[in-house]
Homo-oligomer: A and B are copies of this chain.
Amino acid sequence: MKSIVSAQKAISMIKDGASVMIGGFLECGAPDMLIDELVKQNKKNLTMISNDTTYPDADKGRLIVNKQIKKLITSHIGTNPETGKQMHAGELDVELVPMGTLIEKIRAKGTGLGGVLTPTGVGTVLEENKETMNIDGKKFIFEKPLGADFALIYGTKVDKYGNVSFYGTTRNLNTVMATAADTVIVQADELVECLDPNEVVIPGLFVDYIVVKENN
């Protein structure tokens, strides 16, 4: 049985300066309540790892607007003008990584591999300052694993054993992030007693804390 806690308590574990992975593709499948609490508790100097920075008034985007992020590792910032503005002003350190590479870096950490050898970005500026490897005449970029202190993820249904299932396109990066952080907090749309074992997408062993949306 996993600890079921309030958003307030879950987020209070995060210290200023921590690295935090946050799930969601734009607003879809983002743990909005956990992010709101992160804004409320005003944690500072965070490293945020996320697919994107959504919009200025939405979940992850608010962390940018509220200047809580010191370093951002992401694949796309075009939907939130504030991110580009802070980056160009030198206030925010942004590392742009192709989406597929970002996912594999996180997966490499979660699955215990030494890194990723990807063809993505070969022949582009991304190759600069990276190690490359020639394999059977084709060039690949080496990328290191990427983990974090915390992962804040979303689940449509979560059971008391920490098993998570999803509806629709809400899975996105939530699944891989669950494997790559020291502490994983899942925001559940719905808490159930026990999921059908065939339905589970994230096995319970990856989840440390459950925050239930309706309880907050």
Interface, chain A (partner B; CB < 8 A):
104, 108, 111-119, 133, 135-136, 138, 140, 144, 165-168, 198-199
Contact = CB atoms under 8 A, between A and B. Distances in A.
Nearest to A132: B114
Given A112-B119, A114-B119, 19 more contacts: A104-B113, A112-B118, A113-B116, A113-B117, A113-B118, A113-B119, A113-B140, A114-B117, A114-B118, A114-B133, A114-B135, A114-B140, A115-B117, A115-B133, A115-B140, A165-B198, A166-B198, A167-B198, A168-B198
Contacts of A111: 104
Contacts of A140: 113-115
A104 B116 CA distance: 12
A209 to B, nearest CB: 24
B119 A135 contact: no
A167 to B, nearest CB: 6
12 contacts: A104-B111, A113-B117, A113-B118, A114-B117, A114-B119, A114-B133, A114-B140, A115-B133, A115-B135, A136-B144, A165-B198, A166-B198
Contacts of A198: 165-168
A132 to B, nearest CB: 10
A121 to B, nearest CB: 12
In the A-B complex, the 6 residue pairs with the closest CB atoms:
A114-B140, A114-B117, A114-B135, A115-B117, A113-B117, A167-B198
A36 to B, nearest CB: 26
A194 B168 CA distance: 16
Contacts of A119: 112-114
A112 B119 CA distance: 8
Nearest to A115: B117
A168 B117 CA distance: 33
Contact of A138 (B114, B133, B166, B167): B114
